[in-house]
Amino acid sequence: MVGLHVSIAGSPDLAFDRALEVGATTFQIFTRNPNQWKFKPLAEETVALFREKRKKSGFRRIVDHMPYLPNLASPEKSTMKISRYTLDEEIKRCDALGVDYLVVHLGSHLGKGTAVGIANIVGAVNEAIAGSQGDTVVLLENMAGQKNCVGARFEEIRGILDKVKIGDRVGVCLDSCHAFASGFDLSNEDAVASTMGLFDEITGLDRLKVIHLNDSKGPLGSRLDRHEDIGEGKIGRNGIKAFLHYPGVSERPLIMETPYDDIRAMEKSIKLVRTLLR
């Protein structure tokens, strides 16, 4: 399952057409504008079209990404309230569309400490899952190590997983760029084995559901959340290939999030990943 983040401009169901056009067999979307708090409810026609395209496409897994504005780790009550509301509504949108996974950024504890941030995230995820009538699985995305962020360390992700009440409704999305930026080396076969072995030991490969396959503009440990085209960044082609060949990685949906200028660039990236998978 090799794909990328695609646009839903015009209608969410058009994501299938755009993905198929570039040879993708999975994709990630935003179900709404990711830079605004306000959003319109999904119309019944929109949901029906999306589900119909899903059946025709044969895609095994589809991924949604939370909007950028929420901060689930925030200790500030007003931010916490609207962030939780956004997560509650987003998982309901995913349930309606039949989306398999909802990837969430864990956010910042704003200097109040990791324990506070983890507690707030756990509360938000438990509340959202409790209000969900579907099967969408919430995925915790590892962070790049920015100041006060929660989730750059595997121990922090594990701490959240252990406290979510319905364990089969939460998993992990591992972003290769974020891992590298936060200090986990992925640039060669030995480094990949060390990093992924640690991930398995602490978090568990069974909890890994989706891969954000991104190269890194910044060097190892830079804490810079800047994606680069596959093979063109500091992880490099050899590192990406080693990562793809680590046991179990290629079985997950592989989603690239590098901004693409045109269809040819998207096709090129899809073909390159398939080449590296050989």
Q: Is residue 22 part of a domain?
A: no
Sign of the Cα torsion 137, 82, 158, 240 reads positive
Q: Is residue 5 part of a domain?
A: no
Q: Is residue 21 part of a domain?
A: no
Q: Is residue 264 part of a domain?
A: no
Residue-wise pLDDT tens for the chain (278 aa)? 999 999 999 999 999 999 999 999 999 999 999 999 999 999 999 999 999 999 999 999 999 999 999 999 999 999 999 999 999 999 999 999 999 999 999 999 999 999 999 999 999 999 999 999 999 999 999 999 999 999 999 999 999 999 999 989 999 999 999 999 999 999 999 999 999 999 999 999 999 999 999 999 999 999 999 999 999 999 999 999 999 999 999 999 999 998 777 899 999 999 999 999 99
Domain span holding position 91: 55-253
Global pTM? Answer: 0.96
What residue has token string 């704003």? Answer: 110
Question: Do residues 13 and 75 make contact, with C-beta atoms less than 8 angstroms apart?
Answer: no
Helix (H/G/I), strand (E/B), else coil: 26: strand
Q: Is residue 126 part of a domain?
A: yes
